Chain A
Amino acid sequence: DGGITQSPKYLFRKEGQNVTLSCEQNLNHDAMYWYRQDPGQGLRLIYYSQIVNDFQKGDIAEGYSVSREKKESFPLTVTSAQKNPTAFYLCASSNRGHQPQHFGDGTRLSIL
């Protein structure tokens, strides 16, 4: 079945630690996205990538980093510079041309 796989489902971060959230898609989509969702809030865009080896900052990129070395993969690193990382993180992908985005199941990140 085609889809988007995010792992892990739950992640705990210690103070000063970097953590990486995985996102893999087998939909052959060109574009991939990372969103952050806080309780009662909408989705805020962290980073997006429309092509391999290229990515752009979204609205809240500070404290995060990404890479896009393969079309299928778009990992997100939450660095120690992100002082309030506790949130629900969603990865999405889409074809070009303003097509619908398809989402993974999300990763819930908490601070220990």
Chain B
Amino acid sequence: AQKVTQAQTEISVVEKEDVTLDCVYETRDTTYYLFWYKQPPSGELVFLIRRNSFDEQNEISGRYSWNFQKSTSSFNFTITASQVVDSAVYFCALIGSGYSTLTFGKGTMLLVSP
């Protein structure tokens, strides 16, 4: 079975603060893929990143960075110098090589105030 846990239901920060969204996963597959999606108030899910289980390098894209640690089954997402436009619900998702469908976490709502 696959499982994704996003323990933080809601996080509130003030603009320019750094914030980390946690994601812990469970899978028996040795090959798997992890994803992060952003859902702004408009509702559409926007793909942010895909990481495969063999690539443990951290990824940085502008103000976004991702820390993948197989030892702790975690794939955490950090936003540096947060902005109001970062306010959204963020979903972590997992698919193992033996599966055809994604398993999503329940999401973390990030509120960035000016």
Binding site for B on A (CB under 8 A): 33, 40-43, 45, 48, 50, 56, 58, 88, 90, 92, 98-106, 108
Q: How far is the CB of B69 from chain A (nearest CB, A)?
A: 20
CA distance A108 to B42 in the complex (A): 11
In the complex, the answer to whether A42 meets B104 with C-beta atoms within 8 Å is: yes
Count how many chain B residues have C-beta atoms less than 8 Å from C-beta atoms of the other chain.
21
Contacts of A99 in B (CB 8 A): 50
Q: Check if B44 sits within 8 Å of A104, measured CB to CB.
A: yes
B19 at the interface (CB under 8 A from A): no
* A88 touching B43, Cβ below 8 Å: yes
**Most chain B CB within a 10 A radius of its CB, from A58, A102, A103:** A103
Contacts of B45 in A (CB 8 A): 43, 90, 92, 101, 103
Binds A, one of B55-63, B70-78, B80-88, B95-103: B95-103
Known: A42-B105, A58-B101. A103 touches B44 (CB 8 A): yes
Chain A residues in 8 Å Cβ range of B97: 98
